[in-house]
Structure formats: C-alpha cells, structure tokens
C-alpha cells in the first residue's frame, strides 16, 4: 500500500526530521531521570515478588526503603545488592520484608570494590529476568511457527473484560472461536492511577479486569489451549500505561503477552499523569517491549474523542510521527509499531467517509511497515443499534480499503452500555462479512483528487504544527492543549514526586543491557 496519495517523499522526510528534532529533548530528559516504577521494574526482573498482608507489593516496600535512606538518584540496584551482600540475605524478596520491618538499612558503598561487587551481582540478578523474557519470546516464535498466523489482514482485535479473570477466560476463548485473532483484556477503571501493581488473580474490577502477573499467566495459558484447538496463534493484549508502565511491561514480557497499549502521551493527556514521569517510564517500558518482541499499540484515537476529527486530524499524524521516533529510539522495530488512529468523523458531515479514507490511507502510506491499529467509532454512537452496526460496517470497509494491520471490533452498543456477548457476536459477523467480501479490495482502490488532496493537506498541517513544536518544545505544546485539547504542564500531574534526576553514579543493570 504505497504511492496512491502522491505524497512528496521530501515532505515526508521533513516531517520525520521535525519529529526527531521535537522528540530529542524528551529523550535526553528520559535518559537523565529515573522513577520509582523504573526502579521497581528492575527489582521485579531481579526476582522480587509477592505482597504484604495489605496487598502492597514487596517491591514497593523495598524501593520505598531505599528511597528513604539514600534517594532514587543512584538507582536502587547498587544499594539493594550491597545490602544483600553485607547482610548475607541473598533472596531479595526476603530482603524487602526485612527492610519493611526496619531491620535493614541501605547506603551507597564508598569503596570501589564494594560498588563493583554490587553492580556485578545486580547485573547477574537482572539477567535472570531478561533470560526469562527471552525464553518467552522464543516460545511465541515457536508457537507461531507451529500454529500459524491469521490468514488475512487486518487481524481482528476484540476486547474482553468483565472484572473477573475467571469470567474473562471463557469469554476470551469463545471470542477466539468466533473469529477474533487478538484478545484485549482492558484494565479496571482507575488502575492506571495506582502506584503499585496488584497481586494475584482478581475477581473484582470496574469496567475492566486488573492487570496483574497472575491474571496475565492465567489468560495466556487459556489462549494457548485455544490456539492449539483452532490451529492458529491467538495473541493477548493488555495495558502498559499509567503510573506502573515499566513494571507492567516487565511482567508482560515474563508472561508472554503479545501486544501492549503503550502510548507516549495518553497517560499525560487523559489521566493527568506528570509528563516527565510518563516519558521516563515509557522509554524504559518500550526498551523492555523491544526485547520481548511485543507489539505496542499507541493511543492517538483518543485525541479524536475530545477534539474534532477533521480539525484535529493533523495532531494524530504528529503524534504518530513522535511515537515512531520514541519507539525507534527505544529499540522497537517497525513491525512492532501498532500506531493508532480512528474512525471518528461525524457521519452527518458530507463526504465523511471520503475524509476517513484520506486519513486512514495517509497513516498507511506514512508507516508502510507498521501494523497500524484502526479504531472504531465511539464518539458518534447514539444508542441506535441499527445505525451503529451500519457505521461499524463502514469502519470495517475503510479498514479493508486502506490495508490496516489491526482492526478493533466496533460494537453497535459502543459508548452506550457494556456490550453483551451477543453484541460481540453480531459485531464479529459484521467484520467477517466485510473482510471476506472485500478480500484484497485495497489492491483495486485508487483514490481520487479529493482523497489525495485531503491527505496532503493533513500532512502539510502536521508539518506546520511540528515546526511550532520544535520552536516552543514538546513540553510546552502539551501544556498548551495541542493534543486532545488537554492542557498538562510539566510541573504538575500525578506521580511527579516519584521522579528523580540521575546522579553521576546512577546504575541500572537493565538499561545497561537494553540501551
């Protein structure tokens, strides 16, 4: 899918160059700071697990203890492993328990030999977690070779989340049998604002199910059974966003999730999480995703739920270009970039479908190797299920015409009520009918001057915005409400107190390997 819009390659190259120039100061900032969640992720990879009787993970207790004694700026790896060596407590979870009880104190060793020993043991401990991530990636590759990928693109992506993991499992398996290629277990409302990852299997959640390591393990095991039954590999998605983005990324890698929601600005704009905290956390999490072979899904579709989908179309393109730059810098390959965009233009607007095709085709041609994630209409769903099903049919057709990579199944009851299983079944029938009937229609689709003109207009507006961002900085653009009309200053937002500037002796055994 290339060359249909007559995009000038020099203009496309300029857009990417501007995105890199706008994004580099954010990368520099992320490289020079750390967060409580980055440090907790390091310790999770090093083997710390479990939670205290109040449900607070031991890894939180351990990082809090280190932070109270020596701060975060040195990293936690050296203080923790130095304490383990000097106390003889090799099990880091036991060390965390002792620290929580006040029987262990932490310091940064002064002697070079002690620092070297602590670093050596920290590197060895973290390597154990990374080896597990590598093993899980190899398992995925083996299963895909055995069962195969879906025969057609786009892959069909379906959301399942009841709040109860034991209810989610049979619904997810039923969805796969009905034709879904990817199962997304959305998180319980509000989990992104928890500064800890809940422990164990959970049976209560609001509008979603908690993202926990055990829930990941249970769902992955169930879908492996279904993959064997169906003879095709069923992918599993969850959310690496919010205040615990790095930790959830690590847990996802260790439990072989295949895709993760991971957007550089979603938490800033729609959860009021501090921008610095978010950018530091997202860089580390994407480094882990790159190592784990996980496809990320970005959240540009959300901008169009708050801003007008025609007037703000160029902000989606700008965000996609920034997400691409940040992802590449963190080590992700093009095949891992599920860049987001959405079918959210008011259907009452004349030529609305042609405009949607222009925007979708622009994304497809700008990122030809990326498995773009095409999102269904939500903003203009009215509760009229017949109209909603028709609108979803147009969305599915747009996905087929423009060669999208991942198509999220739209529900005719979207944004009105939580869909029933029967709603999902009808929605899947809609998708399968359109994709089967359209076949490779994208090969025959040749856009006219209206679509080509609109796509080039959006790209031009994106370049103008990028030029302004380069002049004013990305942080200022976010503060001014450029994306999704949300104003988020860099000195405000949740989680800012969990950010620390790296000291000269900062050490992170995970980023040392993943850099």
Given the residues 301, 303, 423, 506, the one annotated as active site? 301
The reported pLDDT for the residue numbered 2 is 52
Q: Is residue 157 part of a domain?
A: no
Q: Which of 400, 434, 451 is the last residue of a domain?
A: 451
Same domain? For 238 and 109 the reply is no
In a domain, 372, yes or no: yes
Q: Which residues in the chain land under pLDDT 70?
A: 1-2, 415-418
C-alpha 476/C-alpha 508 separation (Å) is 30
Which residue from 308, 44, 255, 267 is spatially nearest to 139, judged by alpha carbons?
Answer: 255
Domain co-membership, 120 together with 236: no
117 with 232, same domain?
no
Domain contains 341? yes
In a domain, 216, yes or no: no
CATH number at residue 398: 3.20.20.440
Q: Is 233 tagged catalytic?
A: no
- Six-digit token string for 147: 């069962």
The reply to whether 117 and 236 lie within a common domain is no
Question: Would you state the pLDDT for residue 235?
Answer: 98
Q: Is the distance from CB of 304 to CB of 344 less than 8 angstroms? A: yes
373 annotated active-site = yes
For residue 437, what are the domain limits? 226-451
Q: What is the Cα–Cα distance from 79 to 129, expressed in whole angstroms? A: 19
Helix, strand or coil for residue 239?
A: strand
User: Are 112 and 247 found together in one domain?
Assistant: no
Q: Which residue, chain included where needed, has tokens 């809090």?
A: 64
**210 flagged as catalytic:** no
At which of 451, 467, 486 does a domain end?
A: 451
Q: Which of 196, 210, 239, 266 is catalytic?
A: 266
The C-alpha atoms of residue 336 and residue 139 are separated, in whole angstroms, by 17
- State pTM to two decimals: 0.95
Count Cβ atoms below 10 Å from residue 331 Cβ, excluding itself. 16
373, 392, 494, 506: the active-site residue = 373
Q: Domain count of the chain? A: 2
Q: What is the pLDDT of residues 310-348, one digit of tens each?
A: 999 999 999 999 999 999 999 999 999 999 999 999 999
pLDDT of residue 417: 66
Any domain includes 155:
no
Q: Are 211 and 187 in contact (CB under 8 A)?
A: yes
**pLDDT the model gives residue 415:** 67
Q: Are residues 314 and 447 in the same domain?
A: yes
- The answer on 277 and 417 residing in a single domain is yes
Q: Are residues 118 and 240 in the same domain?
A: no
One domain, residues 120 and 234: no
């Amino acid at each position: 899918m290339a060359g249909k819009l007559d995009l000038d390659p020099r203009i496309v190259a300029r857009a990417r160059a501007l995105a890199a120039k706008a994004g580099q100061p954010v990368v520099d900032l992320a490289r020079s700071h750390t967060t409580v969640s980055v440090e907790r992720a390091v310790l999770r990879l090093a083997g710390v697990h479990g939670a205290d009787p109040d449900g607070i993970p031991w890894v939180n207790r351990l990082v809090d203890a280190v932070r109270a004694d020596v701060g975060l700026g040195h990293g936690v790896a050296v203080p923790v492993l130095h304490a383990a060596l000097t106390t003889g407590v090799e099990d880091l979870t036991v060390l965390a328990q002792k620290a929580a009880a006040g029987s262990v104190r932490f310091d940064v060793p002064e002697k070079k030999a002690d620092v070297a020993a602590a670093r050596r043991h920290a590197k060895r401990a973290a390597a154990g977690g990374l080896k597990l991530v590598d093993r899980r990636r190899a398992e995925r590759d083996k299963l895909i070779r055995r069962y195969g990928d879906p025969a057609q693109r786009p892959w069909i992506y379906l959301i399942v989340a009841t709040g109860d993991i034991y209810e989610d499992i049979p619904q997810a398996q039923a969805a796969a049998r009905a034709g879904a290629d990817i199962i997304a277990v959305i998180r319980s409302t509000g989990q992104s604002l928890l500064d800890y990852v809940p422990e164990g299997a959970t049976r209560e959640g609001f509008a979603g199910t908690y993202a926990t390591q055990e829930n990941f393990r249970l769902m992955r095991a169930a879908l492996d059974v279904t993959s064997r039954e169906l003879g095709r590999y069923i992918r599993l998605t969850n959310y690496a966003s919010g205040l615990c983005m790095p930790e959830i990324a690590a847990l996802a890698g260790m439990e072989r999730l295949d895709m993760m929601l991971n957007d550089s600005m979603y938490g800033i704009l729609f959860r009021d999480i501090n921008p610095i905290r978010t950018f530091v956390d997202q860089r580390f999490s994407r480094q882990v995703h790159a190592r784990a072979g996980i496809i990320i899904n970005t959240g540009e579709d959300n901008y169009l739920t708050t801003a007008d989908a025609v007037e703000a179309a160029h902000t989606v393109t700008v965000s996609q270009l920034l997400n691409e730059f940040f992802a590449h810098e963190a080590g992700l390959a093009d095949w891992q970039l599920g860049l987001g965009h959405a079918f959210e233009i008011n259907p009452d607007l004349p030529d609305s479908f042609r405009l949607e095709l222009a925007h979708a085709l622009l994304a497809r041609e700008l990122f030809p190797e990326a498995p773009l994630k095409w999102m269904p209409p939500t903003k203009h769903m009215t509760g009229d299920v017949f109209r909603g099903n028709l609108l979803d049919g147009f969305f599915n057709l747009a996905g087929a015409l423009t060669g999208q990579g991942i198509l999220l199944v739209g529900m005719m009851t979207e944004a009105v009520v939580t869909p029933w299983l029967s709603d999902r079944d009808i929605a899947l029938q809609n998708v399968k009918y359109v994709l089967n009937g359209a076949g490779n229609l994208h090969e025959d689709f040749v856009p006219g001057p209206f679509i080509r003109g609109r796509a080039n207009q959006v790209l031009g507006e994106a370049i103008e915005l990028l030029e302004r961002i380069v002049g004013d900085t990305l942080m200022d653009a976010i503060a001014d409400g450029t994306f999704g009309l949300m104003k988020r200053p860099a000195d405000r937002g949740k989680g800012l107190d969990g950010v620390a500037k790296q000291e000269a002796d900062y050490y992170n055994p995970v980023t040392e390997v993943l850099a």
